[in-house]
Amino acid sequence: MTENICPKCQAELEWDAGYVCQACDLKYNKIGNCPDCSSQLEKLQACGAASYFCNTCNELKSKSRVQFKFEQR
């Protein structure tokens, strides 16, 4: 499982219509980046499972290889 950790204080993020750090009072978007070209991936929701598509490589990326980061919003 991917851990959802606040990049500022390392606390575990909670889900409230988005990722929230209670300690920092900040909201985050989870961004997936392509492991091959570092472009931002498009999240596709299919059959209940999320998959990630890179428009630059023009192919689907395995979730296990996607590099996730949290961006403040």
Q: Are 33 and 69 in contact (CB under 8 A)?
A: yes
Find the part of the chain contacting Zn ion (CB under 5 A) among 1-9, 42-50, 64-72.
Answer: 1-9
Of 48 and 66, which CB lies nearer to Zn ion in the complex structure?
Answer: 66
C-alpha separations of 31 from 15, 44, 58 in Å: 15, 13, 18
Cβ closest to Zn ion, residue 33 vs residue 45: 33
Beta strands in 8-54 (DSSP E): 14-15, 19-21, 26-33, 42-46, 49-54
Please measure the distance between the N-terminal and C-terminal CA atoms of the chain and give it in whole angstroms: 24
* Stretch 28-67 residues interacting with Zn ion (CB under 5 A): 34, 36-37, 39, 54, 56-57
Choose, by CB under 5 A, the member of 12, 23, 50, 65 that binds Zn ion: 23
Binding site for Zn ion (CB under 5 A): 6, 8-9, 11, 21, 23-24, 34, 36-37, 39, 54, 56-57
